[in-house]
Structure 1
């Protein structure tokens, strides 16, 4: 299940994130902050199987709680209001966000002890890599 994601992860690299945010429609000032932020990402699971994903940086902290396969309304760090669904597919945690006729997919997987997040919208993909904190 999602057990391998549980814990706190610190971002160590981010590639093409500005182009990804542009494709999402994020404004210049918010993109500047997003590019400077080095968020930590933490995952936990409660007794009822509710998964909590928390992204924390000096600029903003966001938290979503979800069950796999159940759509919910999410307000993203850049204030988009999306219909979001998380699924698990071949060990990858897939987050699909839909809003205003647009769709983005965030695919997270553990590879070589790192959490690799591929963020895609249309033909634009950003890759953000995290190391687990001790």
Structure 2
């Protein structure tokens, strides 16, 4: 994971994202707005050993700060509070996100020299969302 710290990736393709957003009950206007954006993603390590995952768009910047293996409170971009935990597996960052209603989503971020592939699944949803980001040189 070390070699991917500080690298910037920009969203290029998205598959089944709206279906996932519908499943987690994101409203129509928010869904349409977020689908029109191409965020940039960067992961950095902080001095205290925590990490920050930053998603930047022209209208908003979302920063998630976490320590590997420790549960933390997260506010999703749609305003919903969830509990999350991150773990690393090689060049992948795996996030488990649990809403107050018990619904669980899994986001697997696979980093490579040229791409960041985010695969999202959710308990009770038979779909799979795949978003591919490309390295910004």
The residue that corresponds to 2:4 in the other structure is: 5
Distance in 1 (alpha carbons) for counterparts of 2:14 and 2:23: 16
Mark the runs of 5 or more structure 1 residues left unpaired by the alignment.
Answer: none
TM-score by length of 2: 0.90
The residue that corresponds to 1:31 in the other structure is: 31
Deviates more, 1:57-66 or 1:67-76: 57-66
Distance in 2 (alpha carbons) for counterparts of 1:95 and 1:68: 10
The residue that corresponds to 1:43 in the other structure is: 43
Q: How does 1:1-134 map to 2 (within 5 A)?
A: 2-6=1-5, 7-99=7-99, 100-111=101-112, 113-121=114-122, 122-134=125-137
C-alpha deviation, 1:11, in angstroms: 0.8
Mark the runs of 5 or more structure 2 residues left unpaired by the alignment.
Answer: none
C-alpha deviation, 1:130, in angstroms: 0.8
Distance in 2 (alpha carbons) for counterparts of 1:83 and 1:3: 25
TM-score by length of 1: 0.92
Deviates more, 1:30-39 or 1:58-67: 58-67
C-alpha deviation, 1:111, in angstroms: 4.3
Number of residue equivalences: 133
1:9, 1:115 within 8 Å by CA — same for their partners in 2?
A: yes
